[in-house]
Amino acid sequence: MNHEQEPLLGASGRSEQHLTFWSSFKTTATSSYFNILLIFVPLAIIAAVVDASATVVFSLNFLAIIPLAKLLGFATEEIALRTGSTIGALLNATFGNAVELILGIIALKEGLIRVVQASILGSILSNILLVLGFCFLLGGSTRQEQNFNVTAAQTSSSLLALTTLSLLLPAAFSATANTASDAEEGILKLSHGTAIILLLVYILFLFFQLKTHTYLYEDEGDEEETPSTTLAFSIVSLVVIAGFVSLHADYLVGAIEGVVDSWGIDETFVGIILLPIVGNAAEHVSSVTFAIKNKMNLCIGIAVSSSLQIGLLVTPVLVIAGWVIGQPMTLFFENFETVVLFSSVLIVNYLIQDGRSNWLEGVQLLSVYAIVALAFYVHPATPKE
């Protein structure tokens, strides 16, 4: 366990001027047991190039993206150690969500709008239920309870509610429109306008978080941690790893339709449950590590802020990208999915509004996620348009 934690948080006591490219490479290479899975990177590329079966291509690229996402999180965290916990949490969530954004844009270009929508919903659900659930469970397993800033948590809760509202209104619009054509045209215009508003809200939230109310998001003890790689190495790592993630994401998305047909599952289940596991690997490990070290403001900042970025940044960007490339990407999700999101956000709001957490609350969140996964697995497939 120590092998997993120390490199992620920096090697305390190591003077930064003694860091070299080689020492940075060795630290990165041994930063996580997940790196064993890097063997699947060349295997996945070979499988895609030789046109192997969809199941093989999907499985190998699925496994290849997991360690790459973890390395993306490690490089981000190394940069974050030089900037403080607030910007650190923002960087971690941003580059963690880079995987989702890459997956989303590639799938959108292929016309897989339902997969994109499912991936958006799945990313939000996995962050606020799966990631946060493991944080509360493992962080609280050795403590009576853990504390975090109530005001910051409630601000995040209200913004999650705003995200949910942006998906509820198109569903209500569809249910009350006179004709299907009126609903389709109106929802598309509503989605484009809402996307612009959400982007503005996200920019203002960044100003709130990084400028006017920074103290709400800071954790104590940042001075105990020092970088274990050079800044140049971390930046180069981000660029290179993001390139590999984009490549594997392209292969992964290309194999989805074949997997859906051969496995007999709904593409919505793939988007909501399977893809977010890949995309959230980086922030999942980072959040749990900070929860175990009792740095709950940073933990909440990564897990909840990641969901906020999906709702207020990634989703609007994908809607606008669809607008630009001529794909009718909207904020109208299926009624079943919208109800699931609303219920999940409601439960999370109840649990974090007091600024305290314990292991039983983690069990509750994980139970909700298990029920949601089961529901989507047995839910009838949505007819293709």
260-303 pLDDT, tens digit per residue, is: 888 877 777 877 887 777 666 666 777 787 788 888 877 887 77
165 contact partners, CB below 8 Å, separation of at least 6: none
How high is the mean pLDDT of the chain? 81
Q: Is the pLDDT of residue 224 over 70?
A: no
79 contact partners, CB below 8 Å, separation of at least 6: 91, 231, 234, 235, 238
Which three-class secondary structure state does DSSP give residue 213?
coil
Q: Which residues pair with 356 in a beta bridge?
A: 147
Q: Which residue has the tokens 């305290």?
A: 356
Give me the pLDDT at residue 267, please: 74
Q: Any idea what DSSP says for residue 79? A: H
Give me the pLDDT at residue 16, please: 52
The confidence band for 84, taking pLDDT boundaries of 50, 70 and 90, is: low
Higher-confidence residue: 164 or 179?
164
Give me the pLDDT at residue 117, please: 86
The confidence band for 113, taking pLDDT boundaries of 50, 70 and 90, is: confident
CA 30, 35, 37: angle at the middle one, nearest 5? 155
Average pLDDT estimate for 175-181: 79
Element (H, E) at 322: helix 315-325
The confidence band for 96, taking pLDDT boundaries of 50, 70 and 90, is: low
Higher-confidence residue: 89 or 57?
57
Q: Is the pLDDT of residue 175 over 60?
A: yes
Average pLDDT estimate for 250-257: 81
Give me the pLDDT at residue 4, please: 44
pTM of the model as a whole: 0.76
Beta carbons of 225 and 10 less than 8 angstroms apart: yes
Average pLDDT estimate for 357-373: 92
Give me the pLDDT at residue 366, please: 93
Q: Which residues pair with 146 in a beta bridge?
A: 357
d(CA 121, CA 83): 30
The confidence band for 190, taking pLDDT boundaries of 50, 70 and 90, is: very high
Give me the pLDDT at residue 364, please: 94
Higher-confidence residue: 202 or 306?
202
Higher-confidence residue: 10 or 265?
265
d(CA 223, CA 243): 32
Give me the pLDDT at residue 304, please: 81
In this structure, what are the phi and psi dihedrals at residue 147, rounded to the nearest 5 degrees?
-115, 150
d(CA 255, CA 65): 14
Beta carbons of 296 and 139 less than 8 angstroms apart: yes
Higher-confidence residue: 148 or 362?
362
The confidence band for 225, taking pLDDT boundaries of 50, 70 and 90, is: low
**% of residues, the chain, pLDDT over 90:** 16
Q: Is the pLDDT of residue 89 over 90?
A: no
Higher-confidence residue: 10 or 292?
292
- DSSP code string of 86-133: HHHHHHHHHHHHHHHHHHHHHHHHTT-HHHHHHHHHHHHHIIIIIIHH
